[in-house]
Structure 1
Amino acid sequence: MGGDMRGGAFYRAMWRWHFYAGLIVLPVLALMAVTGALYLYKAEVEALFYPVRLTQPVGGASLPASRIVAAAEARAGAAATQLVRPASNGESWRVVTPGAEGRTTTYFVDPRDARVLGQMRDGGVMETVKSLHSLTMTGPVGNRLVEVVAGWAIILCVTGLYLRWPRRGQPALALRGTAKGRLFWRDLHGTLGFASALVILFLAITGMPWTDVWGGGLRAVIAANKAGRPPMKVNPWSHAAKHALPWTLREQGAPMGHGLHDVGVDAVARIAARRGLAGGYQLFLPASPGAPYLVSAITVRADDARAIAVDAATGAVVQDMDWRQFGKGAKAVEWGIATHQGQQYGEGNRLLMLAGCLCLLLLCLTAPVLWWKRRRDGRLAAPPPASAAARRTVAALMVGLGALFPLTGLSMLAALGGEWLAGRLSRA
């Protein structure tokens, strides 16, 4: 078939899929690119808005954890649920207290004198950025929409690579013509896409584990094949504690506690230090009488994952989970998430993910310009239709790819049905 040549039937069919994929997800992809780039710099942004860093010279020992918690509780008038001890001695500690309707307040406390330096409501500005990135503020519908968009982003990458693959007279990387012409914008869009496709593809695939349907299915598959986390007894953590655990442990329960006596947060901090968690951790207080304490490492690299459960009554360590206990499936997912967040390989990793986000945003901006430049007779239109055989072949390939991502596959079938119906109406 003449599909390898520009203008061939197979090429036109791929072009139409690329065009419609972009048309469907462009606004959401642009939002995810902006919020994803911001979230890569979460620590820096929070330091601009909140008293994260201590302004006075750092020196002297920190107060006991109980004093820091008590200072925040006195300000809040409520019992704390979480203590965050940073890895750096130059940062304030954080104490989280609950409010009405599931809301929270985080207090920044100087660990040397227990002064409350400031506060942050509901996770602050970066929690808003995260909610926008994942669309969780819209509830389950938003989470499923993100899954659909991520699947279509994969299709955009696959079709875009095919369309820009070097052919006679069409280099993959080029910038020809002037900004007034269509060739310039086609080259700009194509070059950006070809250069960044693998990074964007990686971001789309590694973002999938956060979704409810595909991500939940992946957790189930990993567990069924005994490639995930170590087995745990059942007794739910608090909602916040679940989200502090490594991804592959979040659907598990916690070990049961014994009795109503409480050894206290200072004893738990000492136990964590003896176990190698002296700094850089989140300490969750028992969610209910008899429930255990949870100490979870603040992870940078995937292999930093660590979670310790301490019996509140006896101080016994009833669960100690770390990277070595993870199966191959869990390790692969945790590595993907850490790399997606720009943490696994240091600053170079973060800059590469930032470049992917910026290129994705530029692709979202150049696509409508290119569409405008290629209008004919003042009218905007889709790429020309291909032959029926080429359409069927490409549709089968795309639906096969969509089968890997069920919600995206369903949206593909809906798109194919809409195109068929539009064709029938136009002929009628």
Structure 2
Amino acid sequence: MWRWHFYAGLIVLPVLAIMAVTGALYLYKPEIERIVYRDRIVLPPGGAMLAPSRLVAAVERAAGAPVTQIVRPPSDGESWRLRVRSDGGRATTWFVDPHDGRILGRMEGGGVMDLVRDIHSLALTGPVGNRLVEVVAGWAILLCVTGLYLRWPRRGQPALALRGRASGRLFWRDLHGTLGFLSAAVILFLAVTGMPWTEVWGGGLQRLVAANNMGRPKLAELPWTEPAKQALPWSLREGGALPGGVGGIGVDEAMRTAAARGVTGGYTLVLPAAPGLPYLVATTVVRAQDARALMIDAGSGAVVQDMDWRMFGRGAQAVEWGIATHQGQEYGEANRLLMLAGCLCLLLLCLTAPVLWWKRRRNGRLAEPPAATPAAKRVVAALMLLVGLLFPLTGLSMVAALLGEWGVGRMRA
């Protein structure tokens, strides 16, 4: 256990530290955006609203490109965000005052918090980063389980303790072990609930949920753009919507239809990207139960699909609940503070681990822990086999680590 806990830490420590910092920041996305973009977001309350089509026209004149999405905030004290995608595929978000149509500013893409999210998910490195996140999450699960095993109270060894002085190894071992024991459940939860965002494991889960009728209602396949998919709840991203007529209604009628169906809070309206595609209305999800999506025929204005939480299967509901809780939203401020504590403890574990490693060097040299007893090896083998089967990319990295250890042993021999 000790040996593989040590190896897992070495492999994923830097990435876990980055994910802990960016995850803590993303928990406070609304507050950070209101600080960074205050002059573009915050509005004085009150006043009549202009027709959404007038906001679209103002942005399209300024941008010289068509609007693809409209984000209506849940509060009247915030500006609306209209998304434009140029011919080169670059997305720009425009902030507009819905009371008088003034353009308050713009930002490239999703701004600073999209950058934080991309660093957190390693999306900046493309498909390789997404797969690395999956590997790291699997190793984080292994770290939690082996750490709990190592720290579990036995033979007079307390699980929670802080002994010795800061200059000694015992102090750092107790600090690392106590922090890990207290936060293991939260870190384990964050690792597992982060998996649905990955391409290999998350994509496989999405297909498994759909194949067993545990996901969203059955829909016809349509070529949704990636930004449109991102506006949807997780369980609605596999597939598309029913095709409809071409032309006809505009954004004003689409939003009136949404309001008539009771969608009045924050939501995203995705405009048809091609003839035959409907308008898509996706609610801004805070709690998992808020998930809802409307498909409105662009030709007739009829609602061809109205899907909400109650129509999701048990699998989709479980994943949506996990995502909302992972983001600190499902149970209010207490939920967010608990996830923040998990991120901070994870960061402290990443900082104390190398200190503890340095403190335990022998004869001035860094070294791995000694090999385990045969009984402990059997436990570790079973544990690794289970984690490796559940998370195949992590399993492949375990095989690589085993081959590396075998190779080093042969070289030494």
How far has the Cα of 1:220 moved from its partner?
Answer: 1.3
Whole-angstrom distance in 2 between the partners of 1:152 and 1:308: 39
Contact 2:15 / 2:136 at 8 angstroms: preserved in 1? Answer: yes
Whole-angstrom distance in 1 between the partners of 2:331 and 2:189: 15
How far has the Cα of 1:102 moved from its partner?
Answer: 2.2
Contact 1:82 / 1:282 at 8 angstroms: preserved in 2? Answer: yes
Whole-angstrom distance in 1 between the partners of 2:105 and 2:316: 38
Who is 1:135 aligned against? 122
1:336 to 314, 322, 343: 322
Contact 1:399 / 1:412 at 8 angstroms: preserved in 2? Answer: no
> Does 34-43 or 56-65 show the bigger shift?
56-65
1:293 to 279, 283, 298: 279
Whole-angstrom distance in 2 between the partners of 1:56 and 1:338: 28
How far has the Cα of 1:311 moved from its partner?
Answer: 0.6
Q: Is residue 261 of structure 1 aligned with residue 247 of structure 2?
A: yes
Who is 1:367 aligned against? 353
Whole-angstrom distance in 1 between the partners of 2:42 and 2:208: 48
Q: Deviations over 1:103-157 (max 9, x none)?
A: 1110111111010111110111111111111111111111000000000000000
- 3-state DSSP class of the match of 1:263? coil
Who is 2:69 aligned against? 82
1:42 to 24, 29, 54: 29
Contact 2:26 / 2:116 at 8 angstroms: preserved in 1? Answer: yes
**TM-score, scaled to structure 2:** 0.97
Give the residue type in structure 1 aligned to 2:24. Answer: A
Give the residue type in structure 2 aligned to 1:208. Answer: M
Q: Is residue 243 of structure 1 aligned with residue 197 of structure 2?
A: no
Whole-angstrom distance in 1 between the partners of 2:341 and 2:140: 16
How far has the Cα of 1:100 moved from its partner?
Answer: 4.5
1:276 to 232, 255, 262: 262
Superposition pairs of residues 29-428 of structure 1, within 5 angstroms: 29-51=16-38, 55=42, 57-258=44-245, 260-388=246-374, 390-427=376-413
Give the residue type in structure 2 aligned to 1:137. Answer: L
Contact 1:295 / 1:309 at 8 angstroms: preserved in 2? Answer: yes
Whole-angstrom distance in 2 between the partners of 1:203 and 1:102: 33
- 3-state DSSP class of the match of 1:96? strand
Structure 1 gaps, min length 5: 1-13
How far has the Cα of 1:50 moved from its partner?
Answer: 1.4
Whole-angstrom distance in 2 between the partners of 1:52 and 1:289: 37
Whole-angstrom distance in 2 between the partners of 1:311 and 1:393: 57
Contact 2:40 / 2:104 at 8 angstroms: preserved in 1? Answer: no
Give the residue type in structure 2 aligned to 1:229. Answer: R
Contact 2:40 / 2:95 at 8 angstroms: preserved in 1? Answer: no
- 3-state DSSP class of the match of 1:101? coil
Give the residue type in structure 1 aligned to 2:15. Answer: V
Q: Deviations over 1:171-197 (max 9, x none)?
A: 111111111111110011000000000
**TM-score, scaled to structure 1:** 0.94
Q: Deviations over 1:250-270 (max 9, x none)?
A: 011121021x32300000010
Whole-angstrom distance in 1 between the partners of 2:157 and 2:372: 21
Contact 1:399 / 1:413 at 8 angstroms: preserved in 2? Answer: no
Contact 2:282 / 2:292 at 8 angstroms: preserved in 1? Answer: yes
Contact 1:21 / 1:156 at 8 angstroms: preserved in 2? Answer: yes
Whole-angstrom distance in 2 between the partners of 1:380 and 1:174: 26
How far has the Cα of 1:58 moved from its partner?
Answer: 1.1
Identity %: 71
How far has the Cα of 1:70 moved from its partner?
Answer: 1.4
Give the residue type in structure 1 aligned to 2:219. Answer: M
Whole-angstrom distance in 1 between the partners of 2:69 and 2:47: 24
How far has the Cα of 1:69 moved from its partner?
Answer: 1.4
Contact 1:106 / 1:122 at 8 angstroms: preserved in 2? Answer: yes
- 3-state DSSP class of the match of 2:349? helix
Whole-angstrom distance in 2 between the partners of 1:123 and 1:33: 21
Give the residue type in structure 1 aligned to 2:226. Answer: H
Give the residue type in structure 2 aligned to 1:323. Answer: W
Question: How many pairs were matched up?
Answer: 413
How far has the Cα of 1:294 moved from its partner?
Answer: 0.5
Whole-angstrom distance in 1 between the partners of 2:114 and 2:42: 24
